[in-house]
Amino acid sequence: MLNPFTYICQHTVLGGFVKNVKIVTIESDFGAGKKGAKLGPQSLLKELPNDLLKNIPIEVVNTSEQPLNNESVFALNIDAVLYTENKAVETIENIFNEGNIPFIISGDHSNGLAAISAYKNCFPENRLGVIWIDAHADLHTPYTSPSGNLHGMPLAAALGLTDQLNTKNNVDKETISKWREMIELGSKSISPKLLPSDLVFIDLRDLEVEEINGLAVLNIKHYTPLNRKAIGIKNIIEDTIQHLSHCHHILVSFDVDSLDPSISSGTGTPVPDGLNKEDAIELLSTFLKLPNLCAFEITEINPILDRFKPMEIEAASIIETCFKNSGFLN
């Protein structure tokens, strides 16, 4: 029997099939160095117009009761992150199996592993294309991370990375075991969940040497602000879509720190020279129209870090425009 989600995507390609969207909020910031991102999902929802979200079901992954675990200095709070991720995977997997597309609003970007893991549980033989719009590569592991914050590691886990080039941390056995759980997240323990050739970064600009080496060794396609200024956002969009044209489905993850801090600094790790609002809207509006889009995520809104230009207001303005431009919720 054809999986209903596959049916929807196939018929969307042919035209005339309406995508059904469910909202998922992952209200956790266990993976971040600064607290407050767990407030981001609800803050964003409050700023989005009611008429835009009417009749759209909302599933909440709330993990406020989960205690922190700071024992591993190279993977801070990894028990809490694993707890959160497992709950999120189950929620998103159910949405896929219902034939729906999740619009995920997550706290910190460690939660970005959940949708990738849920997809592979549902479609283990498929190639998933991931568009990661972010100032950071999130390719660290416990072996390389300078901070131990897991929001810098979700793609390393998805790619199944363990001991990388330029390993610099003497990682203990318990952390190695927990990292293996991250890599094998999901009921089917699939690893790797993502191939380097199926990943594209957009607007990377804050990297450590280990991540720079990883990008080169794995030959991962990526665009920096220099690329954006040289060839323009339209060419980046076209090249990205072409590069991932072999993939069955596409997942888009939008970290708000990809935006320039002049828009808002209400995110944990703002970096200068980011996207302006016009480029962000063009990127997301186009990607949201992709007929094989399977999930869209926005993450790292931290309402307590900028009250002069609140990120949730700026992000809501961008998302509202993109949804209307693309017909994503229609």
Each residue's pLDDT tens digit, 19-56: 689 999 999 999 999 999 999 999 999 999 999 998 89
Predicted local confidence at residue 6, as pLDDT: 43
C-alpha distance from residue 74 to each of 30, 86, 143, 305 (Å): 14, 21, 7, 25
Q: Domain total for the chain? A: 1
Could you tell me the two tokens for 304?
């307590």
- Examine residue 224 and state whether it is found in any structural domain, yes or no: yes
pLDDT for res 17: 26
- Tell me: pLDDT of 330 over 80: no
**297 in a structural domain:** yes
Domain that holds residue 67: 4-325
H helix count then E strand count, the chain: 12, 8
Compute the distance between CA of residue 272 and CA of residue 329 in angstroms, rounded to an integer: 32
Q: How crowded is residue 35: how many other Cβ atoms within 10 Å of its Cβ?
A: 15
Cα distance between the two ends of the chain: 27
Identify the CATH number of the domain in which residue 101 sits.
Answer: 3.40.800.10
* Look-up of token digits 């990120």: 311
Task: Answer whether residue 330 is part of any domain.
Answer: no
| This prediction's pTM | 0.94
Specify the pLDDT at position 163: 74
